[in-house]
Amino acid sequence: MRPVIGVISDVKALGGHIVHGVTEKYIYAVARGAQAMPVLLPGTVSAVDADMAPERAVVEEILDTVDALFLPGSPSNVGPQHYGDLPHDPPLPADPHRDDISLPLIRAALERGVPLFGVCRGFQEMNVALGGTLFQKLYEQPGRFDHREDSGLDIEGQYAPAHEVMLAADGLLASLAGATSWRVNSLHGQGVARLAPDVVVEAQAADGTIEAFRVPDAPGFNMAIQWHPEWRFWQDKLSSGIFTAFGAAARLAAERRRGGARLKATG
């Protein structure tokens, strides 16, 4: 059996209804790149009956069900109240329901050693969940590039490589790339202001923007990446390597979890 990777959903209004969903490119990257079974997780604790169980119990139940956790990108942003900031005026796109489940899930997954991979918004969620802060408008910060996509381009142009990142020479990404620099796409308006404690930088842009990090002391695979490796991952050595490594970690976690279940059943 393929490992099961839980994918956090966005929550948005559509046609008068509330919809929980994930863009297909993320699902495809998990299914084909990580060779796993993607399972969409509702983007709010209340959607999994929080009235009947404390938040921590709901989080633990999710982590008992999946072998790994994937945090995809989104047009929405982490609510600034989660890192001690006031909302921008006018407020930027938000998804408080996703925040409700993603932030506690991140902390619990790292604590338990459940493989964890965050992309774009997921990268920012990981930084906030671990005690870091964000620039709500990175492009307004002195000396920083405008890391947003060019909305005048078609989708191919928006996701085309945009700038280089320097990869930490002793990091996981450098080992996967076989290089210490890589050209990546760039489609984000927010970015790390203060990096969370106890993490190590895996990649950084020339303007100082943190582009990737991991938690070295966590017992399981984890990676946070600001760019979009899911986009046509099969055409890029580093992107395909990341999803392959994530899938391998999920398979190992699945073997351990199922082995433990068999021991309980026979014991």
**Cα separation values, 240 from 32, 56, 69, 121, 230, Å:** 10, 34, 18, 20, 8
**Residue 256 phi, psi dihedral angles, 5° rounding:** -65, -40
Active site residue 228: yes
Q: Is 70 helix (H, G, I), strand (E, B) or coil?
A: strand
- Compute the distance between CA of residue 151 and CA of residue 137 in angstroms, rounded to an integer: 17
Backbone angles phi, psi at 8, to 5 degrees: -65, 135
- Paired residues of 11 in beta bridges: 20
3-state secondary structure of 110: helix
Catalytic pick among 97, 120, 125, 211? 120
Catalytic residue among 97, 147, 188, 228: 228
DSSP 3-state assignment of 168?
Answer: coil
61 is catalytic: no
Residue pointed to by tokens 């982590």: 63
Give the type of residue at 128: V
Q: List C-alpha distances in Å: 214 to 130, 217, 221.
A: 11, 9, 9
**Is-catalytic flag, 120?**
yes
State the catalytic residue, choosing from 147, 164, 230, 255. Answer: 230
- Please list, residue by residue across 144-181, b when 16 or more beta carbons sit within 10 angstroms of its beta carbon and e when fewer do: bbebbbeeeeeeeebbeebbebbbbeebbbbebbeeee
Q: Which of the residues are catalytic?
A: 120, 228, 230
